[in-house]
Structure formats: structure tokens, C-alpha cells
Chain A
Amino acid sequence: MLGFILRRFLNLIPVFIGATMLTFLVIQAAPGNFLDERKLDVRTTAATIERLERQFGLDKSLPEQYIRWLGNFVTGNLGISFDSNIAVWDLIAPKIANSAMLVFGELILLYLIAVPIGIYGAIRQYSLGDKVISLISYFFIGFPSFFLALLIIFALVSFKLQTGTFLLPVGGMTSENFDSLSFIGKFLDILWHIMAPMLALLIGDIAGLSRTFRAQMLEFLNQDFVRTARAKGLAERTVIYKHTLRNALTPFIAGIGGLLPAILSGAGFIEVVFNWPGLTPVFLEAINSQDIYVLLSTTAVSLVLLVIGNLISDFLLAVVDPRIRYF
């Protein structure tokens, strides 16, 4: 087991280095750097610029800068944000928590809702219900997530104008009086704020996942071992839930590990539209100000999560599929 984990880690080192190097090069290839804006400011003296350059290692050559960053990253130092002048980890950690809260909750609901819909679509294939669900999910797959989010905001604000009450808040993560709330009050407040962005995420994702799950179920329902199971006279419930569902679920369970990095970037546009203080807005800001270490370290953290996620996937796959043994 340990040997297997070690092997996987060793295999992923070149990918980690390659991906961070690619990101580093792309950021460097972008014209200008974060000091340009400071240089335009008349109050900044040449000495200040030089000091800043030295402080952030911008006076070094590119390979040196990269290696310095890599060395720091491995020892747990993610660098300093130019823009806010605090450690990158302190900047992104609370945002990662916010993003994770949104995506993690969404994923649980997603699987709880999409899998039963997929099963229904497969066992009642071409029934009226299946056709209606198929059509609706087809429709929502075509929606850009930010557009869906805008429509939800539009509906909620219209509702507010019509009736005078807020069904759900349409932006931010907390109310203005958040600090004065009790612990349970804070929890409920965030829960209330998370509903609208989560709904926006869910609608699109349910449409996608239920369709893939339906296809996966159908793939197995048409196979010989299912026919054999029926021929043996097994109850239809056993055939579906024990023989088909278990097989159909395998790739999805294995895929759970792959969702780990999605916890970082998954909510993407939704966070921007709903003003949710997650990682994507920070990333966007960092791009605008060319905050190298925020960009690089955020990408690197998501790569680390990808590695861990892949390991979890392998492990889960071995648990659900007795044919697979790594150890």
C-alpha cells in the first residue's frame, strides 16, 4: 500500500513541476509586471521600486525565481501577495474555505438528486417522465452558469419588488449584522446566503450528471449478466439495485477523488456573479494586478489537491471494485 502511494507520488512530480512551470512561464510572458502600476505613481521613488524588486525577488533571473518559489512552496511557504502585502496562504485560505463550503455542499446535494433521476431515466427509458426530464436537462446543459445565476438573481429581485420580502439574499456570504450573531445564528446566516448560488450550481450540474448517469445505467442494463440475472428469476429490484447500479456507480465513486480540486475552482463564475467571497474572485484580481505568487501558489495548491484526489480515487476504486488490487 505504502509502496503504491509512493509510486503514485513519484509519477505525479513531473506533472506538478511541469504544470507550475507552465503557469509561471505564462505569467512571465504576460506584458509588464505588478510594479508597472506603482512606477506610474509619482509618489513612488526609484529607491522604493528597487527595494520592492529585491523584496519579491524580481531582480533575479527567471529560473532562479521559479526555483526560489518551488523551494519555498515545498517547505510550506506560499510566498507573499504583492497586492495586499500579506502571505499568500493567509490570503487564500479563508477563500478556499468559502469556496469549499459552497462546492462541498453542492456536491452532496448533487449526488443525492442526480443519481435517483439517472436511475429513473434508465429503468423507465422513453417513458413520458424520462422524456420530460431529458428535455429539461438538455435545456439546462446549454446554460452558461453565469447566465443561470443572473436569471436567478433577476427572479429573486423581482420577487422582492413585487412582494417586499427577500426570498433569498442575492449576494455576498453574510448579512451586515453577522458579527453580532451567535454561533448558530452565524451558521444559519451563511446557510441562508448559500442557497441562491448553490441553486445556480445545482441546476446546471444535475442536468449534466443525471444524463451521464442514465447513459451509464443503460450501458449495463443491456449487458449479458443483467439478462442472466433476470433469467435466473431474480427480483427486478435485485437486478437493478444490486447488479446494475453497483456497476454503474463504480466510475462515479472513483471520480469523487477527482472532484477535490473542483472544490477550489468549481464554483467559478457563480462566485463572481453572486459576489461570493471564494477563490475565483481572488484569482481574477490577482490576474489583473499580475500578482505572481498568488496565481502560482493557487494553481499549485489545486495540483496538490489533484494528487491527493487521485489517490483517494484509486483507493475508493479498490474498495468498490474487488477486481482491482494495488496492494
Chain B
Amino acid sequence: MSTSSLNPDAREGMAPYAKSRTQVVWEQFRKHQLALFGGMILLAMYIGTIFSPFISPYGLAEYSTSNITRFHPPTRVHFFDESGRLTAPFVYATKQDLDPVTFAQTFIDQKDIKCPVQFMMPRPDQPYNLFFLIPTNIRLFGVSQPCNIFIMGADLYGRDVFSRLWYGAAVSLTIGIFAVTLSTTLGLIFGGIAGYYGGWVDNVIMRLVEIIGAIPSLFLLLTLTSVLPQDLDPILVFYGIIFLLGFIGWGGLARTVRSQISALRESDMVQAATSLGAKEARIIGIHMLPITFSLLIVNLSLGIPSAILAESGLSFLGKGIREPYSSWGSMINQAQEGGFASIIYRPWMLIPGFFIVLAVLCWQFLGDGLRDAFDPRKRQ
């Protein structure tokens, strides 16, 4: 009798060996429709972020000082000319005007100045480096002066919201990943040390976790942001925010890792490794930490959406990303500029919010999918 006939898998024509854990997890993950959907959207968003200067018709902080476009509403792209014939897409130049009744500032189309939408348009005055490497000045689309193409309107300073949305994506979408990577690393190191050594080290680390956890997180975060000087280079502010978000986020993971590690320390396999003469670093790194791997992945993917939310909140309050850089949170900040009911005159300033929702949602789906895939009790 051959071994294969004993194996039920082999009878169904499948490979006669057990699946590896990675295979099982991947198969489970693929069954999670929402997670796949979330992953796909995220992939598209991150690819868009890499190409952000190419997709954006304007530069990060580009605005005209002669042609004021403060809170310019979204430009209408026309596909039909005056006689109703289908033509290449074009836009009209606009002129600022005052509404005679409400004195609100409006923009009216100047029907006599028509600019065709150009694709792969060179902008010699706004060069950029694609992928930070290749110097170029080609933009996916654009119009020449005196027309403007603001497909999502313009902000307080008359800058293109659509362009700043993509530049901001680079901040909003990556800050979460960096911050959570940092907090996971800290949680892993401190949790690992506390769990393995116990004693006073454990005591000190766990008190520190308690202290950080005791202060209301919004207050702590706001207090911490005041450490960043007002005149600090905005790029360094970006790193500073990553550091702050990482610093306040490691406690929960450290606690879980600590309890897992301290349980493992007493296990047979670790005792065997110790009696074989393995060094501490080897025991922790090779025998103990890999067991916390699934915990880490889930922690990463569920931590990212909350870090994105935290960053957007900070930037919304003006305590996060600073000008001239944009983040989705700081862009929404301008919606209430000049009276908190004034959003009604510039609803397009709320558009970045929907991108926050989309990104957070997709990360959440992805995280849930991964968690279920790693959890043996939830396998189907």
C-alpha cells in the first residue's frame, strides 16, 4: 500500500504534503473579498502617490500673484463647443467678480478666451524629479495661461486642490506606515525586553507604558507637538510627527508582546535552547520573536489607519504638517477659514476628507482580512 492512498489530499489529486503556513494564510486571505478590494484600492492610491507630480497639473505651492484665484470653484471642462458639437476638451478663462447681492466673491467664465486641455504638457517653469530621480517637466494634463484648470477647485491661496491632494497623499499615506513601523519596533523591543528579563526592567518599562497610556492621547499628542519649533524646516516637522505618533503608540503592543514572551520563556523549547547553550539574543530573535509575527502584521495593518486618522487630526488643528507641504488633514483646515459656516461657499475644500475615509477604510479592510487569515479559529 502506497502512502498516497492513505492521504485524503492525495486522493483528490492534490499534493501529498502539508501546506506551509504562508500558503494557508494566503488562501484564507484570498477568500476575504473586502480585504482584496481594500488592497487593490490602496495599491492604486500608492502608485498614484509615486506619480504625484506627474498627475498634478500644478506644482506644490504654485499660485499666480497677478491672476488671483483664491477659493476658485472647480473649473468646468467642456467637451462640446457653443454649437453643441463634440470637440477636444477645453476650458474657459475666468475672471473674478463680486456678487452684487451678497458681495460674495465669484468667478465668471470669459467665453471669448478658450484654452484646450493639453495632455503630456511640458511645464518648463515647474520642473520636478520623477521618483526623486528623473528630472522632467512633463505633466499629465494642463492648460496654458491665462486659463486655469482646477478640477477640484482652488484653496485659500489660490493653489490647485487636485495637485495638492496628490502631493498631500505622499504625506498622509506614508506617515501612517512610518509611524506604525516605528511604534511596532519600539513595542517589540520594549515588550520583548520586559517579558524576557522580568524583574525591575519589566517594572520600569510597564510603568512607562502605563504613564503614556494614562494621559489622554489627544492632550499628550498636542503637548508633544509644541516641542517642534515654529521655524523648523517643514520636512523635519514631517519626521517629527512620525516620531511623536510612533512614541505614543507602542504601549499596547509592548504589553501583548511582553505577555507572550514571558509565557514563552517558561516553555520547553526555550529551555531546550538554553540548555543547548544558545545565547540570549539568539533565543529572543530566533525562537521567540517569530511567534509574535502574526501579531505584528495585524498590529501594523490595523495601526496604520489610526495613525492616518491621528495625523489628519493634528494637521487639521494646524499642529501637524506645515506649509508649504500639504496633507489631507491640513487641506480640510481651510474649509472653515473665515467663519465656521463658510464651508457652504467652498464645499470642494472637503474633498480631501473623502480620501482620508477611503484610505482608512481600505487599510481597515486589509487589516481585518489579515487578522482573520492568521487566526486559526476563523478559518473557513
Q: Which residues of A contact B (CB under 8 A)?
A: 14-16, 18-19, 22-23, 26-27, 29-31, 138-139, 141-147, 150-151, 153-154, 157-158, 161, 170-171, 261-262, 264-265, 268-269, 272-275, 280, 283-284, 287, 290, 295, 298-299, 302-303, 306
Contact B317 A150 (CB under 8 A): no
Contact A18 B207 (CB under 8 A): yes
Q: How far is the CA of A287 from the CA of B221 in the complex (A)?
A: 11
Contacts of A298 in B (CB 8 A): 219
Say yes or no for B75: interface residue by CB 8 A criterion: no
Contact A153 B341 (CB under 8 A): yes
Say yes or no for B335: interface residue by CB 8 A criterion: yes
Query: Which 10 A/B pairs are nearest by Cβ-Cβ distance?
Result: A265-B216, A142-B361, A142-B360, A147-B353, A18-B211, A30-B226, A157-B344, A142-B357, A31-B229, A19-B211
Contact A264 B216 (CB under 8 A): yes
Q: How far is the CA of A18 from the CA of B204 in the complex (A)?
A: 11
Q: How far is the CA of A302 from the CA of B364 in the complex (A)?
A: 30
Contact A299 B215 (CB under 8 A): yes
Say yes or no for B134: interface residue by CB 8 A criterion: no
Other-chain contact of A144, B218, B223, B309, B365 (Cβ < 8 Å): B309
Say yes or no for B356: interface residue by CB 8 A criterion: yes
* Interface bin, chain B: 35 or more
Say yes or no for B376: interface residue by CB 8 A criterion: no
Other-chain contact of B335, A15, A150, A290 (Cβ < 8 Å): A150
Say yes or no for B39: interface residue by CB 8 A criterion: no
Q: How far is the CA of A142 from the CA of B88 in the complex (A)?
A: 39
Say yes or no for B115: interface residue by CB 8 A criterion: no
CB distance from A316 to the nearest CB of B (A): 20
Contacts of A138 in B (CB 8 A): 361, 364-365
Contact B218 A265 (CB under 8 A): yes
Chain B: which residue is nearest A222 at the CB level?
B377
Say yes or no for B227: interface residue by CB 8 A criterion: yes
Contact A272 B317 (CB under 8 A): yes
Say yes or no for B329: interface residue by CB 8 A criterion: yes
Contact B215 A23 (CB under 8 A): yes
CB distance from A264 to the nearest CB of B (A): 7
Chain B: which residue is nearest A262 at the CB level?
B216
Q: How far is the CA of A151 from the CA of B335 in the complex (A)?
A: 11
A27-B336 contact, Cβ under 8 Å, with A19-B215, A269-B313, A302-B215: no
CB distance from A83 to the nearest CB of B (A): 14
Contacts of B317 in A (CB 8 A): 269, 272, 284
Say yes or no for B298: interface residue by CB 8 A criterion: no
CB distance from B380 to the nearest CB of A (A): 12
Contact A299 B226 (CB under 8 A): no
CB distance from A52 to the nearest CB of B (A): 20
Contact A142 B364 (CB under 8 A): yes
Chain A: which residue is nearest B335 at the CB level?
A150
Say yes or no for B97: interface residue by CB 8 A criterion: no
Interface residues of B in 199-247 (CB under 8 A from A): 207-208, 210-212, 214-216, 218-220, 222-227, 229-230
Contact A154 B350 (CB under 8 A): yes
Contact B218 A154 (CB under 8 A): no
Cβ contacts B352-370/A at 8 Å (1 or 0 each): 0100111011001100000
Q: How far is the CA of A280 from the CA of B364 in the complex (A)?
A: 28
Name 24 interchain pairs, CB-CB below 8 A, sorted by A.
Answer: A14-B207, A16-B214, A18-B211, A19-B212, A29-B227, A139-B357, A141-B361, A142-B360, A145-B313, A147-B332, A147-B357, A150-B332, A150-B353, A153-B341, A161-B344, A170-B340, A265-B218, A265-B219, A268-B313, A269-B313, A290-B226, A295-B223, A299-B215, A303-B214
Contact B215 A303 (CB under 8 A): yes
Q: How far is the CA of A15 from the CA of B213 in the complex (A)?
A: 10
Chain A: which residue is nearest B308 at the CB level?
A144
Chain B: which residue is nearest A135 at the CB level?
B34
A154-B344 contact, Cβ under 8 Å, with A22-B215, A147-B332: yes
